[in-house]
Amino acid sequence: MTQQTWNAQQYINHASFVPQLANPVLDLLNPKSGETILDLGCGDGALTLKISEAGATVQGIDSSESMIEMAQQRGLAAEVGSGENLQFNRQFDAVFSNAALHWMPDYHAVINGVNRALKDKGRFVGEFGGQGNIGALIEAMQTVFAQHPEYGEFKHPWFFPSASEYQQALEARGFQVNYMELIPRPTPLKTGVREWLKIFARQITQDLNQEQKETFYQEAEMLLKPVLYSEKEGWVADYVRLRFAAFKG
Ligand code: BEZ
Protein backbone atom coordinates (compact mmCIF):
# COMPACT_ATOMS: atom_id res chain seq x y z
CA MET A 1 0.00 0.00 0.00
CA THR A 2 1.43 3.39 -0.93
CA GLN A 3 1.38 6.24 1.60
CA GLN A 4 -1.75 8.26 2.29
CA THR A 5 -1.55 11.63 0.58
CA TRP A 6 -3.07 14.80 1.99
CA ASN A 7 -4.31 18.07 0.60
CA ALA A 8 -4.14 20.61 3.43
CA GLN A 9 -6.85 22.90 2.00
CA GLN A 10 -9.27 19.98 1.49
CA TYR A 11 -8.53 18.88 5.06
CA ILE A 12 -9.28 22.35 6.44
CA ASN A 13 -12.54 22.49 4.42
CA HIS A 14 -13.88 19.08 5.39
CA ALA A 15 -11.98 17.79 8.43
CA SER A 16 -11.43 20.81 10.67
CA PHE A 17 -13.52 18.98 13.28
CA VAL A 18 -10.37 16.97 14.03
CA PRO A 19 -8.45 19.78 15.81
CA GLN A 20 -11.72 21.36 16.99
CA LEU A 21 -12.53 18.27 19.08
CA ALA A 22 -9.10 18.04 20.67
CA ASN A 23 -9.64 20.11 23.83
CA PRO A 24 -9.72 17.10 26.20
CA VAL A 25 -6.33 15.80 25.02
CA LEU A 26 -4.88 19.33 25.03
CA ASP A 27 -6.06 19.67 28.64
CA LEU A 28 -4.39 16.36 29.41
CA LEU A 29 -1.14 17.63 27.88
CA ASN A 30 -1.40 20.85 29.91
CA PRO A 31 1.47 22.62 28.09
CA LYS A 32 3.42 25.09 30.17
CA SER A 33 5.40 28.16 29.34
CA GLY A 34 9.06 27.35 28.71
CA GLU A 35 8.52 23.68 27.84
CA THR A 36 9.75 22.14 24.61
CA ILE A 37 7.12 19.96 22.96
CA LEU A 38 7.05 17.78 19.86
CA ASP A 39 3.71 17.62 18.02
CA LEU A 40 3.86 14.24 16.30
CA GLY A 41 1.63 14.15 13.22
CA CYS A 42 1.00 17.88 13.50
CA GLY A 43 -0.98 18.10 10.25
CA ASP A 44 -1.73 21.69 9.26
CA GLY A 45 -0.52 22.94 12.65
CA ALA A 46 -3.89 23.99 14.12
CA LEU A 47 -3.07 22.37 17.47
CA THR A 48 0.67 23.09 17.29
CA LEU A 49 -0.35 26.76 17.25
CA LYS A 50 -2.56 26.32 20.31
CA ILE A 51 0.28 24.63 22.20
CA SER A 52 2.67 27.43 21.27
CA GLU A 53 0.08 30.00 22.44
CA ALA A 54 0.40 28.40 25.89
CA GLY A 55 4.04 29.58 25.86
CA ALA A 56 5.73 26.30 24.94
CA THR A 57 8.34 25.99 22.20
CA VAL A 58 6.77 23.53 19.78
CA GLN A 59 8.24 21.54 16.93
CA GLY A 60 5.80 19.92 14.50
CA ILE A 61 6.51 16.86 12.41
CA ASP A 62 4.28 15.29 9.77
CA SER A 63 4.80 12.98 6.79
CA SER A 64 2.79 15.26 4.46
CA GLU A 65 4.53 18.09 2.62
CA SER A 66 1.21 19.83 1.96
CA MET A 67 0.36 19.82 5.68
CA ILE A 68 3.82 21.00 6.69
CA GLU A 69 3.65 23.89 4.22
CA MET A 70 0.38 24.97 5.84
CA ALA A 71 1.91 24.68 9.33
CA GLN A 72 4.90 26.76 8.23
CA GLN A 73 2.55 29.39 6.80
CA ARG A 74 1.13 29.69 10.31
CA GLY A 75 4.66 30.63 11.40
CA LEU A 76 5.35 27.31 13.13
CA ALA A 77 8.58 25.30 13.28
CA ALA A 78 7.48 22.22 11.39
CA GLU A 79 9.27 19.65 9.28
CA VAL A 80 8.45 16.69 7.06
CA GLY A 81 9.35 13.39 8.70
CA SER A 82 8.08 9.94 9.58
CA GLY A 83 6.74 9.18 13.05
CA GLU A 84 8.02 5.64 12.55
CA ASN A 85 11.59 6.95 12.17
CA LEU A 86 11.97 9.82 14.65
CA GLN A 87 15.50 11.18 14.89
CA PHE A 88 15.29 13.32 18.04
CA ASN A 89 17.42 12.70 21.09
CA ARG A 90 16.42 13.62 24.66
CA GLN A 91 15.28 17.10 23.70
CA PHE A 92 11.56 17.34 24.55
CA ASP A 93 9.66 17.76 27.81
CA ALA A 94 6.63 16.26 26.11
CA VAL A 95 5.57 14.53 22.92
CA PHE A 96 1.97 15.20 21.93
CA SER A 97 -0.08 13.53 19.23
CA ASN A 98 -3.70 13.95 18.12
CA ALA A 99 -5.49 11.81 15.51
CA ALA A 100 -2.24 10.66 13.94
CA LEU A 101 -0.90 7.51 15.61
CA HIS A 102 -3.46 5.24 13.89
CA TRP A 103 -1.70 6.12 10.60
CA MET A 104 1.56 4.64 11.95
CA PRO A 105 1.13 0.87 12.14
CA ASP A 106 4.75 0.27 13.21
CA TYR A 107 3.82 1.44 16.70
CA HIS A 108 6.83 -0.19 18.34
CA ALA A 109 9.09 2.03 16.20
CA VAL A 110 6.95 5.06 17.06
CA ILE A 111 7.09 4.40 20.80
CA ASN A 112 10.87 3.78 20.67
CA GLY A 113 11.38 7.04 18.78
CA VAL A 114 9.18 8.97 21.23
CA ASN A 115 11.09 7.48 24.14
CA ARG A 116 14.43 8.58 22.61
CA ALA A 117 13.04 12.05 21.83
CA LEU A 118 11.98 12.68 25.45
CA LYS A 119 14.09 13.98 28.30
CA ASP A 120 14.04 11.84 31.45
CA LYS A 121 10.58 12.01 33.07
CA GLY A 122 9.21 13.54 29.87
CA ARG A 123 5.59 12.77 29.02
CA PHE A 124 3.86 11.24 26.02
CA VAL A 125 0.27 12.43 25.74
CA GLY A 126 -2.03 11.61 22.90
CA GLU A 127 -5.31 10.53 21.41
CA PHE A 128 -6.02 8.42 18.35
CA GLY A 129 -8.39 5.81 16.98
CA GLY A 130 -8.79 2.87 19.35
CA GLN A 131 -10.36 -0.58 19.16
CA GLY A 132 -13.66 -0.48 17.25
CA ASN A 133 -12.97 2.93 15.72
CA ILE A 134 -14.97 3.58 12.51
CA GLY A 135 -16.21 -0.03 12.59
CA ALA A 136 -19.30 0.75 10.49
CA LEU A 137 -17.28 2.74 7.97
CA ILE A 138 -14.77 -0.07 7.55
CA GLU A 139 -17.50 -2.70 7.25
CA ALA A 140 -19.27 -0.71 4.53
CA MET A 141 -16.06 -0.17 2.53
CA GLN A 142 -15.23 -3.87 2.86
CA THR A 143 -18.73 -4.83 1.67
CA VAL A 144 -18.40 -2.64 -1.44
CA PHE A 145 -15.07 -4.31 -2.26
CA ALA A 146 -16.63 -7.77 -1.74
CA GLN A 147 -19.40 -6.82 -4.20
CA HIS A 148 -16.78 -5.78 -6.80
CA PRO A 149 -14.05 -8.43 -7.02
CA GLU A 150 -12.45 -6.36 -9.81
CA TYR A 151 -11.47 -3.75 -7.14
CA GLY A 152 -9.01 -6.27 -5.66
CA GLU A 153 -8.43 -7.19 -2.05
CA PHE A 154 -9.78 -4.87 0.64
CA LYS A 155 -7.04 -3.58 2.94
CA HIS A 156 -7.09 -0.62 5.28
CA PRO A 157 -4.02 1.19 6.58
CA TRP A 158 -5.02 1.86 10.18
CA PHE A 159 -3.94 0.61 13.59
CA PHE A 160 -6.69 0.76 16.25
CA PRO A 161 -5.40 -0.96 19.39
CA SER A 162 -7.23 -1.82 22.59
CA ALA A 163 -6.29 0.07 25.76
CA SER A 164 -4.48 -2.96 27.21
CA GLU A 165 -2.54 -3.63 24.00
CA TYR A 166 -1.29 -0.04 23.82
CA GLN A 167 -0.57 0.15 27.54
CA GLN A 168 1.54 -3.02 27.32
CA ALA A 169 3.42 -1.64 24.30
CA LEU A 170 4.22 1.57 26.21
CA GLU A 171 5.27 -0.26 29.37
CA ALA A 172 7.47 -2.66 27.41
CA ARG A 173 9.44 0.37 26.21
CA GLY A 174 9.99 2.00 29.56
CA PHE A 175 6.89 4.19 29.96
CA GLN A 176 4.75 4.43 33.06
CA VAL A 177 1.14 4.83 32.06
CA ASN A 178 -0.84 7.31 34.16
CA TYR A 179 -4.00 7.36 32.13
CA MET A 180 -5.44 5.23 29.34
CA GLU A 181 -9.08 5.29 28.28
CA LEU A 182 -11.06 4.05 25.30
CA ILE A 183 -13.81 6.61 24.63
CA PRO A 184 -16.62 6.23 22.09
CA ARG A 185 -17.03 9.67 20.51
CA PRO A 186 -19.69 9.86 17.79
CA THR A 187 -18.37 12.57 15.49
CA PRO A 188 -20.57 14.78 13.28
CA LEU A 189 -19.41 15.00 9.67
CA LYS A 190 -20.84 18.37 8.67
CA THR A 191 -19.89 18.02 5.01
CA GLY A 192 -21.06 14.41 4.76
CA VAL A 193 -19.60 10.93 4.58
CA ARG A 194 -18.60 11.18 0.93
CA GLU A 195 -16.12 13.97 1.68
CA TRP A 196 -14.81 11.90 4.59
CA LEU A 197 -14.24 8.95 2.26
CA LYS A 198 -12.53 11.15 -0.33
CA ILE A 199 -10.04 12.44 2.24
CA PHE A 200 -9.47 9.48 4.50
CA ALA A 201 -10.03 6.41 2.27
CA ARG A 202 -7.55 7.54 -0.36
CA GLN A 203 -5.21 4.59 0.15
CA ILE A 204 -8.13 2.16 -0.03
CA THR A 205 -9.27 3.51 -3.41
CA GLN A 206 -5.80 4.16 -4.83
CA ASP A 207 -6.02 1.44 -7.52
CA LEU A 208 -9.57 2.26 -8.66
CA ASN A 209 -10.27 4.32 -11.76
CA GLN A 210 -12.47 7.42 -11.56
CA GLU A 211 -15.68 5.57 -12.41
CA GLN A 212 -14.95 2.85 -9.86
CA LYS A 213 -14.22 5.47 -7.22
CA GLU A 214 -17.59 7.13 -7.89
CA THR A 215 -19.35 3.77 -7.54
CA PHE A 216 -17.39 3.08 -4.35
CA TYR A 217 -18.45 6.40 -2.76
CA GLN A 218 -22.07 5.96 -3.86
CA GLU A 219 -22.44 2.37 -2.65
CA ALA A 220 -20.60 2.98 0.65
CA GLU A 221 -22.81 6.02 1.29
CA MET A 222 -25.93 3.95 0.58
CA LEU A 223 -24.86 1.19 2.96
CA LEU A 224 -23.95 3.70 5.67
CA LYS A 225 -27.04 5.88 5.50
CA PRO A 226 -29.24 3.67 7.74
CA VAL A 227 -26.39 3.36 10.26
CA LEU A 228 -24.72 6.78 10.45
CA TYR A 229 -27.29 9.27 9.13
CA SER A 230 -30.39 10.82 10.72
CA GLU A 231 -32.56 13.77 9.67
CA LYS A 232 -31.96 15.36 13.05
CA GLU A 233 -28.18 15.00 13.34
CA GLY A 234 -27.01 14.48 9.77
CA TRP A 235 -23.94 12.24 9.29
CA VAL A 236 -22.24 11.09 12.48
CA ALA A 237 -19.17 8.85 12.25
CA ASP A 238 -18.59 6.06 14.76
CA TYR A 239 -15.30 7.29 16.19
CA VAL A 240 -13.71 5.67 19.24
CA ARG A 241 -10.77 7.53 20.82
CA LEU A 242 -7.90 5.99 22.76
CA ARG A 243 -6.62 8.77 25.03
CA PHE A 244 -3.50 8.32 27.14
CA ALA A 245 -0.77 9.96 29.19
CA ALA A 246 2.51 8.21 30.04
CA PHE A 247 5.85 9.19 31.53
CA LYS A 248 9.33 8.09 30.52
CA GLY A 249 10.35 6.17 33.64
C1 BEZ B 1 -9.68 8.87 13.20
O2 BEZ B 1 -9.37 10.03 13.53
O3 BEZ B 1 -10.03 8.05 14.04
C4 BEZ B 1 -9.57 8.42 11.79
C5 BEZ B 1 -9.75 9.33 10.78
C6 BEZ B 1 -9.64 8.90 9.50
C7 BEZ B 1 -9.35 7.60 9.19
C8 BEZ B 1 -9.17 6.71 10.21
C9 BEZ B 1 -9.30 7.11 11.52
Question: Separation of 129 CA from ligand 1 center, angstroms?
Answer: 6
**Nearest C-alpha neighbor of 101 from the set 46, 60, 161, 150:** 161
Q: Can you tell me the mean pLDDT for 193-212?
A: 96
b/e burial code for range 205-238 (CB count within 10 A of at least 16 → b): beebeeeebebbbebbbebbeeebbeeeeebbbb
Pocket test for ligand 1, best of 16, 239, 243 (most atoms within 8 A of CB): 239
Once rounded to an integer, what is the mean pLDDT over residues 199-214? 96
Q: Is 8 exposed, middle or buried (0-12, 13-18, 19+ CB in 10 A)?
A: buried
The pLDDT of residue 187 is 96
Distance from the Cα of residue 179 to its chain's centroid:
19
Cα-flanking dihedrals φ and ψ of residue 25, to 5°?
A: -75, -30
Q: pTM to 2 decimals?
A: 0.95
Tell the residue nearest (CA) to atom 6 of ligand 1: 200
pLDDT tier, 18 (very low <50, low <70, confident <90, very high otherwise): confident
User: pLDDT, tens digit, for every residue of 29-84?
Assistant: 999 999 999 999 999 999 999 999 999 999 999 999 999 999 999 999 999 999 99
What is the pLDDT at residue 12? 86
Atom of ligand 1 nearest to the CA of 239: 3
- For residues 219 and 144, the answer to whether their CB atoms sit within 8 Å is yes
Residue 227 has pLDDT above 80, yes or no: yes
Ligand 1, atom nearest to 201 Cα: 7
Q: Is the pLDDT of residue 109 over 90?
A: yes
Mean pLDDT for the chain overall: 96
- Grade residue 2 by pLDDT with cuts at 50, 70 and 90: confident
Taking the CA of residue 240 as reference, the ligand 1 atom at the shortest distance is 3
Task: Give me the mean pLDDT over the 159-168 stretch.
Answer: 98
- pLDDT at position 249 is 86
Angle made by CA atoms 241, 244, 248, in degrees to the nearest 5? 155
Give CA–CA dist 198/220, Å, rounded. 12
SS3 212: helix
Closest residue to atom 4 of ligand 1, CA basis: 129
How does pLDDT run across 117-160, given as a tens digit for each residue? Answer: 999 999 999 999 999 999 999 999 999 999 999 999 999 999 99
Indicate the pLDDT class of residue 8, thresholds 50, 70 and 90. confident
